[in-house]
Structure 1
Amino acid sequence: MNTADLTSTGIILLVVVTIAYGGTFLLKIARADAAVNDFQSRMFRAGHAHAGVLVILGLVVRLCLQHPAVPAWSSTLASFVLYAAILMSAGFFLSAVGRDPQGPNRWIILLWVGAVSLTVGLVGAGAGLIVAGMTA
């Protein structure tokens, strides 16, 4: 890994700590210590889960792309997996804010933008690995 990759990976690992800390809010919900409705509870759980899983997926993809034969464009596109972690979890959380919402608000668009970002990142990473495998 180059210096920029090492630094950004360190930052990402610190972000994982904040995701884990966010789990304490879910514990408050589970203990009924937080005033949320059923819809909000489901959305907050989904946002937390997507954040954790997609950040770890982004790190794994980053490691897979460290081979010298992987084209640079693939690594650039693969960073969209990490953007998806932010966008999708934000879509879940922000679309459920408010006093007793019964359904998602307009922030749900972030979930779909994140899904596109995830697709772009995974296709870019997969294509780059195939190209690297065929040329190595």
Structure 2
Amino acid sequence: MFEITEAAQTTAGIVFLAAITVTSGGWFLTRVSLGSVEATEFQRSFFRAGHAHAGTLIILGLLCLLFTEATALTGFWQWLSRTGVLVAAILMPAGFFLSATGQGRTTPNRLIGLLWLGAGFLIAGLGTCGIGLLLG
């Protein structure tokens, strides 16, 4: 077994508290579903995708945070392994939600770039964590 460093413990605590904000996305989606918030079909699908990615990536990010503790990674590589997926958990949902904002929108605006930036962090974080675990 391994011990959790203070840095990982602090990060996990912040992430758990921040995860509470995902409930506001659920509340917003409920309002969209009930028709209290007007949205196009495109917007509904992007709002659902943003909410789903937020929850899923937070869980995956917490796993990477813990598994990084079992690696010999240091410095930048440790940071990327520990937090890359958590950065993606912010950027990707932001890309979905923010690129769909605006009355009657049927296509994403330029903020869709946040989604792709987040995807880069997701790939980098997962890859670094996986390689770090394989190398020991």
The normalised TM-score by structure 1 is 0.90
Amino acid at match of 1:49: A
SS in 1 for 2:104: coil
- The RMSD of aligned alpha carbons is 1.2
Q: Matched residues in 1 for 2:50 and 2:33: separation?
A: 15
Q: Percent identity?
A: 44
Partner of 1:19: 22
**Would you say the 8 A contact 1:47–1:92 is kept in 2?**
yes
Decide which of 20, 34, 57 is 1:31's aligned counterpart. Answer: 34
**Would you say the 8 A contact 1:62–1:75 is kept in 2?**
no
What residue ranges of structure 1 are gaps of 5+ in the alignment?
none
Decide which of 101, 107, 128 is 2:105's aligned counterpart. Answer: 101
Amino acid at match of 2:61: G
Decide which of 129, 132, 135 is 1:128's aligned counterpart. Answer: 132
Q: Matched residues in 2 for 1:13 and 1:61: separation?
A: 14
Amino acid at match of 2:56: V
Q: Matched residues in 1 for 2:63 and 2:72: separation?
A: 15
- My pick for the range that moved more, 122-131 or 20-29, is 20-29
SS in 1 for 2:21: helix
> Does 2:55 match 1:72?
no
SS in 1 for 2:64: helix
Q: Matched residues in 2 for 1:112 and 1:44: separation?
A: 16
Q: Matched residues in 2 for 1:29 and 1:99: separation?
A: 13
Q: Matched residues in 2 for 1:77 and 1:6: separation?
A: 16
Q: After the TM superposition, which residues 112-123 of structure 1 pair with which residues of structure 2 at under 5 Å, given as runs?
A: 112-123=116-127
Q: Matched residues in 1 for 2:72 and 2:60: separation?
A: 18
* Aligned pairs, number: 131
Q: After the TM superposition, which residues 47-66 of structure 1 pair with which residues of structure 2 at under 5 Å, given as runs?
A: 47-66=50-69
Deviation at 1:75, TM superposition (A): 2.5
What residue ranges of structure 2 are gaps of 5+ in the alignment?
none
Partner of 1:85: 89
**Would you say the 8 A contact 2:47–2:96 is kept in 1?**
yes
Q: Matched residues in 2 for 1:88 and 1:9: separation?
A: 19
The normalised TM-score by structure 2 is 0.90
Stretches of 4+ aligned residues off by more than 3 angstroms: none
